[in-house]
Structure 1
Amino acid sequence: MSYTITTESFDSIIYSWDKLRHCLKWSSVFILPAWLKVWWESFGREAELYLRMLWQEKKAIGFAPLQLTNETASFIGSADVCDYLDFAIAPGREQDFFTTLLEDLREKGISKLDLRPLRYDSTVLTQLVGIAQNRGYEVLRHPEDVSLELDLPLTWNEYLAILKAKQRHEVRRKLRRLWEAGSVEHHCIEVGREVAGYLDIFLQLFSLSRDEKAGFMNPKMESFFRSMSKAMAEIGLLRLGILKLDKVPAAMTIGFDYNGAHYLYNSAYDPQFSHLSVGLLCKILCLKESIEKGKKKWNFLKGGEPYKYQLGGQEVPLYSCQIVIA
């Protein structure tokens, strides 16, 4: 079979998105072209950009979103803001894609792939590792973190039933106490041009945090959050959950609806309402709304915080993988 590798830009991939979204498997929001472009403009530029598309005649086979530093290739993205990464490949064409990609990287003088973070079911771990080992390449795989996710039932009552009795009682008790505290409003909304105003509220709540979150949101990270939110809103994926008590914003979540799932990306709350567990309840109410909208999965994303387990999350192991191809 004859294949062609083309050098792409973020703009060329985004321009062809309507076609490419259907013929390649884009496994998460963190590998979508719009997301990758924002990350690169915010944190990249020091490495050499390696955006390659493999074609068989006019049919797209796979997309490699990599950056090159010295003789090492790694994914565009970073673990602090991208929960897991991967290649985008047409189902069933992984062998063709990775075989051609490895040859192209070797021709460019690349001697090592350093790929992270990876889900256990990523194409890297399920396909590339075996191909590399068959070629006699050295492959190292290490556990790196965990993500948590939950298969959503059809109804809220079914969800409550899967929780342990103590947690079910706590959810109901905390919700009842919140309703009794004043006038409560909660919406998980799709936003468009008004995203900047909502981000102002979110970042203000974030700045009130008394934990490690306050140090996380430096000016560079704030710029990323604003650009990322705008980009995700433009392609219709951004969902902002906002909980108000007596018209005052008490907590917010940033998330994405993608491929039948909700990704809970980040959250913030006003500590003056912490006695009402507004941070947790904003997440719970967004989860409830996802069930009511027929979502199939809820991704708590990376990190093993206790509340994720308490709300029914199941661990998904994340790995790093290094492949020496010299």
Structure 2
Amino acid sequence: MIDQRAWSVRVHEDFRDLEQLEGQWNHWAEDPPFRRYDWQRTWWEVYGPGSLSRKRSRLCILEVRHGETLAGIVPLYREWHPLWGWVLRWLGSGEVCSDYLGPIAPACYQEHVGRVAIIALHALALGKSRFQDVAIDRSAAPRLTCHRIDWDGMRADDPAVQAVRIQAETLKWALDVRPTESSWQLALPRTWGEYLDSLQPRSVRRRYRKLSRAYLDHPDLVLHVVGKQEVFGTPCDDNWQSAWNILVQLHQARRRQLGDQGLFASTQFEVFHRRILTEYLPSGRAALAWLEWQGQPIAAEYLLLSGKTVMAYQSGINPDFLTLSPGHLMSLSLIREAIRWGFETFDLLRGDEPYKRHLGARPTPLVRIRAAPPQVSARWRFTLWNWGRHSRELLRRMKAKNIDFGGTMMEDDQVAAVDS
């Protein structure tokens, strides 16, 4: 039961003001790397106002206190958009695709921190230093305002999500909450045989048994792992730069074959992960793996490690070896090794690709929250965005039904132009 002590929120625009909270931040983050202080600070250093894409962005971290007690941290940044105004998003958003984002707080405070965060943002939109039972210290950010929040990658069952929805509706915010792609987790059994026996339907089970018999124990198939030896219990390759280069090359080759530029075409994406890996590989929070067939790399995987969970964060496959099903072979190899290493969960993260269900994973729903305070400028901006969203959906449905637009079918690039 939370007592009636007053709530206060302090706004921070500099990570240096929060260095003393790093230990508490990481303790409350409950170990998913996307929520950790070092992940989010590194993201801000790479993707913040020093980058060309976010020159007009500012840090906006809310430190929430209940009386004198630190109750939680809300790690946001704000970015100016010529149509939507000042938009508040989670640190770690965008192409890095961080999952499980949200307020950082102990279980007893999670709902309260979600509620207080919305009240504080409401007060900032009104230009007030107090609203209801919440006092706001904006001395570090005197010109801060909020026209809209755009919060992606939150678990639908996060207690803060429901608190945010209820409080936003109470304060008459315009609100749009909708599911996004799920993240997918596989509960690992005790043995490899139990895992294969659990696969459904029977056609999938037969296929994976066949791949397992034909390749997983074949001497020409070799799995290499770069990481902290104590985590895996076996000697690991220590040249992570070579492993990284294999991952980048295979990812880019496959994406180019599919007509996509690939994530590593982004210099920021590569810089961010190189910096993360220099910290996470020695500490056992990350690993790089690649699979060789007859001496040729055919698949690679970038793994994040969180307690008893292995997260398959990013991958690449060799397009010259597609007949071997390199992606499936890599997933099966890693799942088998994760069981042997003593992990309990294999997390395939966000994305509703069919192979995740075939591997036996189960979905965890994620949501995206967009909302705007009831002030006139914020409300008309939100209405404009909502109209544009409905128009895009209508155009997609009409295109899917091959409806003729004035005698000319809309091409993909025309729909994309409207979508942007």
1:33 to 24, 30, 37: 37
Relative distance call for 1:288 and 1:305 in structure 2 (3 A) is same
1:172 to 167, 187, 209: 209
2:29, 2:36 within 8 Å by CA — same for their partners in 1?
A: no
- Give the equivalent residue in structure 2 for 1:64: 74
Cα distance in 2 between the residues matched to 1:17 and 1:93: 18
Gaps (5+ residues) in structure 2? 80-84, 125-143, 230-237, 375-420
- Give the equivalent residue in structure 2 for 1:82: 97
Which aligned pairs between 1:42-57 and structure 2 lie closer than 5 A? Answer: 42-45=46-49, 46=54, 47-56=57-66
Deviations 1:171-203 (A, max 9, x none): 121233325865222144425974333212211
- Give the equivalent residue in structure 2 for 1:17: 22
**TM, length-normalised to structure 2:** 0.69
Q: Bigger shift: 260-269 or 107-116?
A: 107-116
Cα distance in 2 between the residues matched to 1:250 and 1:283: 12
Cα distance in 1 between the residues matched to 2:373 and 2:302: 39
Cα distance in 2 between the residues matched to 1:204 and 1:301: 22
1:86, 1:124 within 8 Å by CA — same for their partners in 2?
A: yes
Relative distance call for 1:10 and 1:198 in structure 2 (3 A) is farther
Question: Partner of 1:110: helix, strand, or coil?
Answer: coil
**TM, length-normalised to structure 1:** 0.87
Cα distance in 2 between the residues matched to 1:53 and 1:5: 5
Cα distance in 2 between the residues matched to 1:306 and 1:184: 25
1:14, 1:33 within 8 Å by CA — same for their partners in 2?
A: no
How much has 1:294 moved relative to structure 2?
2.6
- Give the equivalent residue in structure 2 for 1:217: 264
Cα distance in 1 between the residues matched to 2:303 and 2:59: 28
Question: Partner of 2:178: helix, strand, or coil?
Answer: strand
Report 1 or 2 for greater relative contact order, CA contacts < 8 Å, sequence distance ≥ 6: 1
Deviations 1:4-53 (A, max 9, x none): 5442644565664334333x244732222222223223333221111232
1:83, 1:301 within 8 Å by CA — same for their partners in 2?
A: no
How much has 1:142 moved relative to structure 2?
1.6
- Give the equivalent residue in structure 1 for 2:221: 184
Which aligned pairs between 1:285-304 and structure 2 lie closer than 5 A? Answer: 285-304=333-352
Gaps (5+ residues) in structure 1? none
Deviations 1:277-306 (A, max 9, x none): 222211211111212223222211111212
Q: Bigger shift: 315-324 or 303-312?
A: 315-324
Which aligned pairs between 1:126-205 and structure 2 lie closer than 5 A? Answer: 126-164=162-200, 165-178=202-215, 182-191=219-228, 194-205=239-250
How much has 1:145 moved relative to structure 2?
1.9
Q: Bigger shift: 181-190 or 6-15?
A: 6-15
Relative distance call for 1:147 and 1:95 in structure 2 (3 A) is closer
Deviations 1:82-126 (A, max 9, x none): 242211112111344234333432324324322113221234423
Cα distance in 2 between the residues matched to 1:222 and 1:233: 16
Deviations 1:138-189 (A, max 9, x none): 3221222222222222222221111022222211212333258652221444
Cα distance in 1 between the residues matched to 2:332 and 2:120: 47
Deviations 1:44-63 (A, max 9, x none): 32211112322346643111
Relative distance call for 1:21 and 1:191 in structure 2 (3 A) is same
When you count strand as a share of all residues, which structure comes out higher? 1
For residue 47 of structure 2, what is the amino acid of its counterpart?
F
Cα distance in 2 between the residues matched to 1:9 and 1:278: 44
1:262 aligns to 2:310 (yes or no): yes
How much has 1:265 moved relative to structure 2?
0.6
1:104 aligns to 2:120 (yes or no): yes
Relative distance call for 1:248 and 1:319 in structure 2 (3 A) is same
How much has 1:255 moved relative to structure 2?
1.2
Bigger Rg, which one: 2
Q: Percent same amino acid among aligned pairs?
A: 22
